[in-house]
Amino acid sequence: MKENQYFQKFPLISYRDNISVDITRRVDFDSNIKSYIQAFYEYVLTEDQRIEDVAFNYYNDVDLDWLIYLSNDIIDPYFDVPLTNKQFDSYMVKKYGSIEASQLKVFKYRNNHRQDDSILDSAAYNSLVGQAKRYFNPIVTQNGIIGYERKQNDIFFETNYMLSLQFVTTPTTVIPVGETIQYGDAYAEVVYSDEKTITLKNIYGNFNTSADYTITGKFTGYTAEVDHTTYNVLVNTIPVVEQQYYSPYSYYQYETDQNEAKRLIKLIDKSYAERLNQDLNKLMK
């Protein structure tokens, strides 16, 4: 209904000799209501479902969409809500150049407990070296400890390790910083490169070989021949014995997770809708 529309409640002002809605006004729910858990329930937005659709289906009034926006602190109705698959793909291409680029580019290294459902017996657990035991929790039953499973903790590192390599001959073109370089199934991100050396981070696979080899820029196509004897690990951000417990967390997966997290919203119980509608009318007078 028109009288329930959010901006219909805003006062009018004179601005540059024109009558305009005073959009500088802003309201929010009383903090007591926001902290009253029984006033809300969780709802998961489906693909292509808009906030207006939910307002119509739940409140029987599409113009009460502002109740949902305020309940979830949504300011931008375009980017504070989940993108559709088509919108998401367009966003990723615009931001990263291509879907493939976003899938190869590493955001961070993340504890990979989600992909590991293995159970260790006591012998395997006791054989773990270094700080590896911190990645496991005991499985306790009335009969005692029956095994050890991965601890459900999210731990992030900026990279797994960094290394440097030197070239056999001067490359025709310097491989740019940020490029993904490949050698066979191995790939890494360039953090520094000149005519003689290259420094890499977010290393996946093996660049430590027994013979010289050629690296190739995934997106530029630039190549360079590497002197295998110059392989040099600069820093192990994640201790070597613990690197198996981490996996690359790509920008694509990060952006996907952020987008999917927006699907879970809070709906204020419909029994409060009329009261809040009246309260907003009073505040805007």
Question: What's residue 35's pLDDT?
Answer: 55
263 DSSP assignment: T
pLDDT number for residue 274: 75
Least confident of 30-39, 61-70, 186-195, 201-210: 30-39
CB 235 within 8 A of CB 82: no
Report yes or no on 204 lying in a domain: yes
247 occurs within a structural domain? no
Task: Judge residue 236's burial from the number of C-beta atoms within 10 Å of its C-beta, 0-12 exposed, 13-18 middle, 19 or more buried.
Answer: middle
- Within this chain, do residues 170 and 214 fall inside the same structural domain, yes or no? yes
For residue 33, what pLDDT band results from cuts at 50, 70 and 90? low
pTM value > 0.75: yes
Q: What is the mean pLDDT of residues 127-142?
A: 94
Looking only at the bridges linking them, the beta strands covering 119-120 and 144-150 are antiparallel
* Residue where a domain terminates, one of 155, 185, 214: 155
Average pLDDT for residues 61-66, to the nearest whole number?
A: 86
pLDDT at 231: 98
Average pLDDT score over residue span 181-189: 96
Q: How many domains does the chain have?
A: 3
* Residue 12 sits in the same domain as residue 75: yes
Q: Are 235 and 161 spatial neighbours (Cβ–Cβ below 8 Å)? A: yes
Helix/strand/coil for 86: helix
- Inside any domain, residue 88: no
pLDDT of residue 76: 83
Q: Is 109 helix (H, G, I), strand (E, B) or coil?
A: strand
Residue 78 shares a structural domain with residue 26? yes
Alpha helices in 185-272 (DSSP H): 251-261
Residues 170 and 141 both lie in one domain:
no
Any domain includes 244: no
Are 166 and 148 contained in the same domain?
no
State the Cα–Cα distance between residues 195 and 169, nearest whole angstrom: 8
Are residues 211 and 274 both part of a single domain?
A: no
Alpha-helix residue ranges (DSSP H) falling in the chain: 31-35, 51-59, 65-71, 85-96, 99-104, 122-126, 251-261, 273-283
Domain of 211? Answer: 161-236
Is residue 121 located within the same domain as residue 178? Answer: no
Q: Check whether 37 has a pLDDT greater than 80.
A: no
Q: Are residues 175 and 223 in the same domain?
A: yes
Assigned domain for 255 exists? no
Shared domain for 228 and 170, answered yes or no, is yes
**pLDDT (tens digit, 9 = 90+) per residue, 215-254?**
999 999 999 999 999 999 999 999 999 999 999 999 999 9
Residues 228 and 273 occupy one common structural domain: no
What is the amino acid identity at position 241? V
pLDDT of residue 2: 46
Kindly indicate the confidence band of residue 18, based on its pLDDT and cuts at 50, 70 and 90: low
Beta-ladder partners of 181: 188, 217
Domain membership flag for residue 249: no
How far apart are the C-alpha atoms of 125 and 1, rounded to whole Å?
64
Which 3 state secondary structure label does DSSP give 115? helix
Written as one letter, the residue type at 77 is: P
- Give the pLDDT of residue 30: 56
